[in-house]
Structure 1
Amino acid sequence: MHRFKIILFIMICCCQVRLAVANSVASIVPDQLTCAYLTDPIGIDDLTPKLGWQLRATDRSRYGQRQTAYRILVGQDSVALSQRRADVWDSGWVESDATQHIVYSGKKLHPDRKYYWSVVVKDEKGKMSDFSPIGKWVTGLFSNADWTADWIGTSEVFDASQTDYNVYDPWFRKNIYLEEQPSDARIFVASIGFHELYVNGQKIGNPVLAPAATDHGKRARYIGYDISKALRKGSNTISFWLGAGWSIYAPYVRDDRPRGAMVRAEASLYNASREVIGVIKTDGSWKTHPSPNKLLGNWSPRNFGGEVYDANLEVPNWNQSSYDDRSWKSATVYYPHVQLSAQQVEGNVLFREINPVAIEALPNGDYRVDMGVNFAGWTQINVKGAPGKRIDFLFSERRQDEMTFNNRSAYIVDASGAGTFKNRFNYSSGRWITIKGAESKPSLQDIKGWAIRTGYAPASSFVCSDSLQNWIYDRTLWTFDNLSLGGMIVDCPQRERMGYGGDAHATTETGMLNYKMASFYAKWMEDWQDVQGTEPMVGNMNDPQWARKKTSSGRVFNTGILPHTAPTYWGGGGPAWGGIVVTLPWSYYQQYGDKQILEDNFDLIKGWLNFLEGHVQDDLLKPYGGDWDFLGDWLWPNATAEGMNNKKPENICFNNLYRVYNLRTAALIAREIGKEEQAAIWQAQAEKSSIAINARFYKNYSYADGSMSNQSLALLAEVVPAEDIKKVQQQLEYEILVKRKGHIHAGITGGALLFKYLRSIHRNDLIYSMLKQTAYPSWGYMRDNDATTIWEMWEKDLRGHSLLHSSFLYPGAWYIDGLSGIKSSSPGYKTFDIQIPKATDTDIAWAKTEFISPMGHIKSYWTRQDGNLTLDIAVPPNTTALLKIPKEDGTLVLQQKAKVRTLPAQAEYSIMVLEPGEYIFKNID
């Protein structure tokens, strides 16, 4: 008994100690540090970069964790910073709950410097947390004036009349001698076209197809590489392998440079005392030589081609110091007029390995490889053939076609009779590979593929009880991934590779709700700024007054006009294509809470709306441009048979509704950044146009043809008279459920705006009615016809159209903010809702979603079993959530000891206020 009392006393003391320790520790600690939305970036050219962090709860069983103050330390010495000594910036304690968009406000930053930083916070009780892990960023070169290196290229000239590019991708190299190994060295590399960097034969950095796609007529983006460990005392060789890529794209052709790849690079090499012990910079003293690799195709729509590698032209050790380059030519110096900017977006990465599932020997001696999935990326193929033999690889999206959209590559065998083809400066797209010219059938192990995308991080995971919804979600994200090469979302990776603004309506919210895309979309908006003022590529093709230039680029008007794609110029579209410059910044602000995106693009928005205003008569937007410049919705079911619809009333109505939607969104933007006068102007224009639209197109609660696109856009744009809203909604419901029998009947832009509106009013039932279908037209029809990616059109068998496309990716947003119910109620998710769908909305039994918002981890698990609802919810520190539960689910009981505040019920929902923490709710019975 005495022993039991002693043990009990010890246990009580331990519990008290643990409780005391818990009460003495802050409830939160900062983590996940970012600078300019990136983790430890190299080459930031912003003098006042934005810093951010997320808060992690130190005890997940507690509730109400909040930040009340922060202190940021920035220094140039990581050891000193770990001892809490900052020589660049000590913010002091700032009473604030802000964790994102904290503008650096310390000493003036210097180019090519490494800055370390850490943050400490106080929690809701004023207790100081531990310091965060130390993060860092490296400044780049802030302006063109900071660069001393030259642009270098070769004297080779591309013959633009040829179907295939006729210049081999060049090598460049330079030897330098160092008296000691540097302790700190970064090289900044800008290229027009793609580049790979080597130091002493070692490839530096992981990104592929670098840099990101850019309007090379105006801008070149540079990347910073840390080369400290690759350099050595004594002789060193710095080398570049350049690829043609976007350098030869017709709209970027300029008189001040050749149509081919160029590079500009420089580095200062420092010892431990920060003394410069060496310099690297490109100039005319560098040597150049053709590599064995060159582009197939000419980097134009339907002819992006692939690559051909001639193994007979290999030069061993070409990038090593031991190689004698005296026979190489000197590089040619060029002086292009381009702005140099840091690439403040993640580079492309190989994000998934793909292995073939079958290889078939064909009667004609060819071999047909099934990779099992449609994808855009690289392939590696081991082959055997007679010396000098050319082996061709033809890529196809369709089983019955040998090749689609001229996607092809080739390998020329050397004297060994065997070799390996692998992509370097281009990529293929398709599922099937036809191998022509190989002397024997390759094995499955001889072939590999890798899908490529921009290297952003995932933000969400989703799974539910409905296998079709899981398939749509999974294939939507897979398709999105394969469209995001180069810091823009393209329409398709095989035929056009254009950054269409209209298609972006179908992808941006899906992207933001499933990935960490802040740096990506900020970069893409910069691309739209670059292309403003140039007419669309297609223009009025048959009108000599609007004829294209000989290089295929539009005329420069220097007005607010926008081409339909960025940074790519080419392609057709309409008001909703240029209008992405209004809607994307506003969606970005709602998602990330960063007002800078609105300020940076305000002039772009104003110019665009002024351009549209120039085509308004009697308060209605009139058709302008050529046949391909006034598209509205695009690729609805059976659209190819019905035609483009440009001059029909339903299309003119759609584009006028879209203009009002742009105006109202722009007015919100203007008010948010204090431009009240401009907001009033746009609001007045929207009101007058709404009156005109209603007078011209509105009858019997229908807009023009009463299509899903026009009805939903009229509601989204707030054109519908207030007293008629319910009637117009009912007409839309009738169109979906009765006239179309639950199927969607909309295309790229119309469908995206339809889903956006239905999501905004929580009509999960109508969205689900379209997503559960398996007959044409539907996503289920794609699944049941062996799709592995989302198609360009609702129809499968129309040749010439892509089977990997951006058209119908808009369901990807609904799974997060609709079926899972996670929806921000203030910019950046400081407050948000979790609105559980009604049991009558779908026949889905459960859904599980994890979402990493800008404020941290949100969880929404819901299950209905035998009429009982169970919820598993996580609310991140520093936020507040409103949990909205359908009244039909009855009373739910919290399973933990936590205070939950109940608000008055609204409409059909009971509402509870959830402070940060984790919660499980179950029905009483």
Structure 2
Amino acid sequence: MIRLKLIIKKYMYIILISSFIYSTLGNPNMALASTNDFSLENLKVEHMVEPIGLDVKQPQFSWNLKSIEGVRGISQKAYQLVVKDVQGVVLWDTGKIVDGASIGIKYNGIELKPENRYNWTLKVWDQKDETQEKSSWFETGLNMQRNGLGNWDNASWIGGQNKELPLYSQSLAVFRVKYVLQIAQGSTKASFILGADDSRLMDKNKNLYNLQSEPDKSFIKLELDTGKVKVGGEACINIYRQGYSKDDSLNPLTSIAIPKALINVENENAKHTIEISSNFGIFNFWIDGTQIELPRVNFWTTGVNVNPVGPGGDYIAFPMVANIGFSVDKGEKANFSDLQILNYREPQNAVFSEVLGSGTYTGIFSHKPIKGFAVGNGAYHLDGGTDGVFITADPSHDSMPLLRSVFTVKNKKIASARLYATARGIYEAYINGERVGDDYFAPGLTQYNITQLYQTYDVTKLLQTGKENAIGAQLSEGWWSGAITFQGENWNYFGDRQSFLAKLVINYTDGTKDVITTNPEDWKSYKQGPVVLGSFFQGEVYDARKESAIKSWTTAAYNDFQWDKAEIVPVNAHTAFIGEWAHCMTGTVTEQNYDHLTLVGQTGPSVTNVLTLTAQKVKEVRPGVFVYDMGQNLAGVPRIVIKDGKLGKKIVLRYAEMTYPDNEKSGENRGMIMLENIRGALAQDTYILKNGENVIAPHFTYHGYRYVEITGIDKALPLKSVQATVLSSIPQVTADYKSSNPEINRLWQNIVWSSRSNFLSIPTDCPQRNERMGWSGDLSVFVRTAGYVADTDQFLARHLQALRDLQDKDGRFGDIAPIGNGFGGVLWGSAGITVPWELYQQYGDKDVLAEHYNSMKKYVAYLDTKLTDKGLLDENTMMELGDWLGPEYNKNEPAFLWAVYHAYDLWIMANVADVLGYSDDAVVYWQKYAERKKFFNKTFVNVITHKTVKSDGTLMDTQTSYAVPLALGIFSEENIPYAAKYLADACVRKNTDDNKIEYNSYALMTGFIGTAWISKALSDNGYTDIAYKMLENTNYPSWLYPVEQGATTMWERLDSYTKERGFGGNNSMNSFNHYSFGSVGAWFYNYSLGIQRDPVSPGFKHFILQPQPDFKGSMKSASGCYDSSYGRIESAWKIDNNKWFYKATVPANTSATLYLPISKEATVLESGKPLTESDGVVFIKYETGKAVYHLQSGIYQFTIKM
């Protein structure tokens, strides 16, 4: 039925437009456009103006027509595209194409070559055959075929020398320790020390418990105790924790028995290899290679928890490696050897080890001679004597890798120069002392083992002819190494060693060229630079004292005699994780290898600085603790100027979205920043000053924050000296919305800010805690809103590539991309179906559908295999989600929602097959859609009452259960009116949540899924007045409740914070920057303003204007705009007593169908004239309380007397 309606609508639209054009051109009274009434703008190739590095065989061209203000009726009658190479050879000439389309024009000429520039000229004829011409250009990249690595001219992946990897011990929360211990004859105990002198525990302002530990008074001690072995007992490991909690004591926190098969009377004084792993404070142990069995600590893992805050990554992480060492009691003797600190995840390379030779010991423990401690014969010797021995030291060493090379540019004119670069890790490149590009975190996050991006930079102006030039790169962890996701098992997910790949091509005007590539012969590396650590989760550590050693390091004049030779860094089992691993929740086995890696030019926007904010307030909450309020929650980094720095002084920056309330409930933490919701991420920057002016501006981390705490300064810095560099992959916001209700305006801004914060290389769920992951369910519900906030086509096309890269062999889409797996089930996996469909509808991008179609087919085929004997859909994984974080989560059966989305997925598939011309597939999918829709109505709707029920027949009757199938068209024609009424009833009545708490009328009882569709479902069925009342409600649960609590972004929970209850006990599972509940933003445009897509004209070539003012409520006006692919659309209404006003802008080369909600008797004027005298407006019909008009391009102002 829906398909038939669309087909009929399409042909009616064609007939209508044809007759309208005929009548317009034949009407001498119509105010038609005249010569030069339009111009050509936004000439783009693959959605970019003058792009370079395109790896697309058949790029798409697009442009806009812009009319002079006040002119109506501008439309494109025909166009011609001519593409030439730089020699002027024509590669493609379309000839005059009679067509109004100005987006998605696909190249169809002679095959384009890599690394070439092409010029293109556009000629457009308007409806009067007047013409305009404009030219532009684009350049291709290295891998036009998108197969393999492309042409890198034998460039090598290079990095620092293959010695120990760098370590900053105060930030490493997931690690392994391995050593050999031999307890001497007559002795029974010896201990290894880790987590000593954690800087957070030595400063009462840096921990929840307000502890202020002295040196060597806070530590974790792991004691091997063989005292009971000689009497037939078991050896054990005693775990002591000191200085971490006020509850710590001198007694062991716990003891772990060691089976006699491992340590017994025969070998108690032999050498034993002991290995400990720490995953956010959950310890596991191996003795001589055999793991000791331990009970389950949480859902994820087994072990022993030593973190006083809580087990695993959901809590502030303790211990870090921090200082390490050894201890024996008095009278005890032992030898330690082969000490290593290793990465947790394979390949488990060492980040610290000491080779104990026969010469003078100069290692980390040599700094302070301790009685009873000696080094010799390959071991650390401890003799407790009469006092015992306790020794610790900091194992930190080295910095993030720096790379450089020098090359000569010939003494002749340069035509162009391009740097092609990427990294395993992230990088910033420099040439002759100047930064290359302005993006952050290149190359961005993709599924690196399958698809990796490279960047292309125009560096022509940075080169110096006839001289030696220098190029350099600073590397850092990025997403390749270090912390990623909330599971410690994923630390160093891809690999633990960063590397750089680059090719510099210098084209001279005489037709010759030089190519400079990364290779170990010409490049050097350095590991003592000022960027000590660069970690997204843990923060950046920067030592400005080290700047002097690398001053001018990217110029040819720099003396690099202290630098080492760079090395090739291959991807193999010694540098990266390669192999299979099973996800602990789904059981899915993921194979990770680099056999089919493709390097592709940058797709979609990178991360850049989009705004700069200045601190609004500062408060000294404790002596020496200064908390700056930026006035806005954001994702980014600070820029802090300290004028009079003192050499060696340490400045520590910590970041938070909230502060503890200034009341008694906060106890000792009153006014301090709240870090519990950051969880296992340290989110702390450390800066060690040089003398004079210092600018703290991290480049290799980012934080989600509103508040920045600064310690280490003597007095508050001026507000102007504390700024925030806002980072995002949304370079421009493409929409705006304002109304007469300031709280709703703030809500819209919160939606925009959460979009900015979370569209950062990938669509993340949150920008602050140890997660920042591409959860598909969050994206699926928000993608329609996102399409208005920003131009998301290429950004999300990149995300769809990640979904394809990670798709299981059985067809299941991961719930997270990149990285993969996760949990969520159908409502999350269906993003692989819903997102490409939304992109096609919003941007008219058929290529997105074509690229993704086979993966979509695999997914719906996979769902078919998950139907039970009763016809219910069940993936049978450990955690399939329903209406996530809804007050009525348990009332809404997940299987109900899975059935709705299964049918919706099939509806989309049928439409996509029609669009792409796969008619046989379309027949199959339409049939399956009909079957699943019939099953849904039979199973989940009571045949007598028509109310929603669970699969066992018990009543649901919830907002979500009506809203989602109504909005997605899954209710039968018979059930629709009942469902609409029941939805309205469920919104108006009082409701109780899963905890039996009652809420008043118009409470928003929906979670992530239901919220996306409830307002649409109401408005589609004649209940817009209720939709406005839901929107304007300020009591919990509602959209405006967080606004009233001071929110500047969307919250993960609608009651993440309340002025009455604080954080409500949800301190850890509590993001204050989470866009999912912001999915209502699409309703602002589609219904409040009435800007709607026409399903048969994707991309807004023709669109619908259907404003729905708040006639029965308190909102008196609303206005907004959307920058569509064809130009800016504007819509605004205002109610004034017995009349109302409506203003609309239809961009040039588009048309719109306007539905005005008026009575037949209403008087309507346009620009002060009767409609019959108004140019560009044609009355079509009157239906269901709306007058329907066709509008040509132009600006229209309607006055309606009610």
The TM-score with structure 1 as length reference comes to 0.88
Match among 494, 502, 507 for residue 769 of structure 2: 494
The equivalences for 1:800-815 within 5 A come to: 800=1068, 801-815=1070-1084
Match among 412, 416, 427 for residue 184 of structure 1: 416
Contact conserved, 1:292 with 1:309, CA < 8 A, in 2?
Answer: yes
The runs of 4+ residues in structure 1 deviating greater than 6 Å are 21-24, 164-167, 250-257
1:73 pairs with 2:86? no
The equivalences for 1:675-694 within 5 A come to: 675-694=918-937
- Cα deviations across residues 500-523 of structure 1 (Å, max 9, x unaligned)? 111013321111112222211211
| Corresponding position of 1:553 | none
User: What is the deviation of 1:260?
Assistant: 2.9
User: What is the deviation of 1:764?
Assistant: 2.8
Partner secondary structure for residue 44 of structure 1: coil
Contact conserved, 1:394 with 1:403, CA < 8 A, in 2?
Answer: no
- Cα deviations across residues 222-278 of structure 1 (Å, max 9, x unaligned)? 110011110112100011111211011669989998423222111221111331144
Contact conserved, 1:29 with 1:55, CA < 8 A, in 2?
Answer: yes
CA RMSD of aligned residues (A): 2.7
Contact conserved, 2:123 with 2:132, CA < 8 A, in 1?
Answer: yes
Partner secondary structure for residue 896 of structure 2: helix
The equivalences for 1:79-94 within 5 A come to: 87-94=90-97
C-alpha distance in 1 between matches for 2:428 and 2:911 = 44
Corresponding letter in the other structure for 2:854: D
Match among 762, 775, 779 for residue 1039 of structure 2: 779
Q: In terms of mean alpha carbon deviation, does 730-739 or 221-230 score higher? A: 730-739
- Cα deviations across residues 62-88 of structure 1 (Å, max 9, x unaligned)? 3322211111122344xx9xxxx6633
User: What is the deviation of 1:494?
Assistant: 3.0
| Corresponding position of 1:360 | 619
The equivalences for 1:598-747 within 5 A come to: 598-618=849-869, 620-628=871-879, 630-637=880-887, 645=890, 650-699=893-942, 700-704=945-949, 705-740=956-991, 741-747=1001-1007
1:307 pairs with 2:540? yes
C-alpha distance in 2 between matches for 1:168 and 1:656 = 53
- Cα deviations across residues 723-747 of structure 1 (Å, max 9, x unaligned)? 1210111111111112341121111
Change (3 A) 1:210 1:756: farther
1:375 pairs with 2:634? yes
User: What is the deviation of 1:457?
Assistant: 2.7
Match among 138, 141, 144 for residue 143 of structure 2: 141
Identity in percent: 25
| Corresponding position of 2:701 | 426
The equivalences for 1:28-47 within 5 A come to: 28-47=38-57
Partner secondary structure for residue 90 of structure 2: coil
C-alpha distance in 1 between matches for 2:1015 and 2:497 = 43
User: What is the deviation of 1:461?
Assistant: 1.9
User: What is the deviation of 1:580?
Assistant: 0.6
C-alpha distance in 1 between matches for 2:624 and 2:71 = 68
Q: In terms of mean alpha carbon deviation, does 915-924 or 516-525 score higher? A: 915-924
C-alpha distance in 2 between matches for 1:578 and 1:746 = 20
Aligned positions, number: 861
Change (3 A) 1:638 1:912: closer
| Corresponding position of 2:1143 | 872
Contact conserved, 1:822 with 1:835, CA < 8 A, in 2?
Answer: yes
C-alpha distance in 2 between matches for 1:254 and 1:849 = 44
| Corresponding position of 1:505 | 780
Change (3 A) 1:758 1:584: farther
Match among 554, 562, 566 for residue 327 of structure 1: 562
Partner secondary structure for residue 885 of structure 2: coil
C-alpha distance in 2 between matches for 1:750 and 1:210 = 36
| Corresponding position of 2:73 | 64
| Corresponding position of 1:891 | 1163
- Cα deviations across residues 325-381 of structure 1 (Å, max 9, x unaligned)? 232122221344321011121121111111112222233432222222211101022
C-alpha distance in 2 between matches for 1:845 and 1:320 = 62
The equivalences for 1:461-500 within 5 A come to: 461-500=736-775
Change (3 A) 1:612 1:476: same
| Corresponding position of 1:548 | none
Partner secondary structure for residue 750 of structure 2: helix
C-alpha distance in 2 between matches for 1:353 and 1:913 = 43
Unaligned runs of 5+ in 1: 1-18, 534-557, 640-644
Contact conserved, 1:29 with 1:121, CA < 8 A, in 2?
Answer: no
Match among 471, 482, 485 for residue 238 of structure 1: 471
Q: In terms of mean alpha carbon deviation, does 33-42 or 106-115 score higher? A: 106-115
Corresponding letter in the other structure for 1:744: L
Contact conserved, 1:35 with 1:49, CA < 8 A, in 2?
Answer: yes
Partner secondary structure for residue 560 of structure 1: coil
| Corresponding position of 1:390 | 650
Q: In terms of mean alpha carbon deviation, does 685-694 or 602-611 score higher? A: 685-694
1:770 pairs with 2:1030? yes
Contact conserved, 2:531 with 2:543, CA < 8 A, in 1?
Answer: yes
Partner secondary structure for residue 76 of structure 2: coil
| Corresponding position of 1:16 | none
Change (3 A) 1:694 1:579: same
Partner secondary structure for residue 765 of structure 1: helix
| Corresponding position of 1:150 | 156
| Corresponding position of 1:4 | none
Contact conserved, 2:115 with 2:139, CA < 8 A, in 1?
Answer: no
User: What is the deviation of 1:834?
Assistant: 1.0
Contact conserved, 2:1088 with 2:1108, CA < 8 A, in 1?
Answer: yes
- Cα deviations across residues 651-710 of structure 1 (Å, max 9, x unaligned)? 221222221221222221122212233233333333333343334332232223122222
User: What is the deviation of 1:407?
Assistant: 4.5
Contact conserved, 2:866 with 2:873, CA < 8 A, in 1?
Answer: yes
Which of the pair is proportionally richer in helix? 1
| Corresponding position of 2:215 | none
C-alpha distance in 2 between matches for 1:880 and 1:363 = 61
Change (3 A) 1:673 1:904: same
| Corresponding position of 1:819 | 1088
| Corresponding position of 1:542 | none
C-alpha distance in 2 between matches for 1:717 and 1:886 = 24
Partner secondary structure for residue 1077 of structure 2: coil
- Cα deviations across residues 278-301 of structure 1 (Å, max 9, x unaligned)? 43444453111122214366x6xx
| Corresponding position of 1:51 | 61
Partner secondary structure for residue 401 of structure 2: strand
Partner secondary structure for residue 270 of structure 1: strand
Larger radius of gyration: 2
Contact conserved, 2:947 with 2:978, CA < 8 A, in 1?
Answer: no
C-alpha distance in 2 between matches for 1:437 and 1:185 = 45
| Corresponding position of 1:536 | none
Unaligned runs of 5+ in 2: 1-28, 168-173, 177-319, 322-342, 344-350, 352-397, 572-593, 661-671, 950-955, 992-1000, 1058-1062
C-alpha distance in 1 between matches for 2:750 and 2:935 = 42
C-alpha distance in 1 between matches for 2:868 and 2:909 = 20
Contact conserved, 2:766 with 2:1071, CA < 8 A, in 1?
Answer: no
Partner secondary structure for residue 505 of structure 1: helix
| Corresponding position of 2:481 | 248
Contact conserved, 1:158 with 1:259, CA < 8 A, in 2?
Answer: no
Change (3 A) 1:320 1:254: same
1:343 pairs with 2:602? yes
Partner secondary structure for residue 482 of structure 1: helix
Corresponding letter in the other structure for 1:48: Q
User: What is the deviation of 1:782?
Assistant: 0.7
C-alpha distance in 2 between matches for 1:235 and 1:273 = 20
User: What is the deviation of 1:805?
Assistant: 0.8
Change (3 A) 1:417 1:229: closer
Change (3 A) 1:274 1:87: farther
User: What is the deviation of 1:419?
Assistant: 3.1
C-alpha distance in 1 between matches for 2:816 and 2:495 = 24
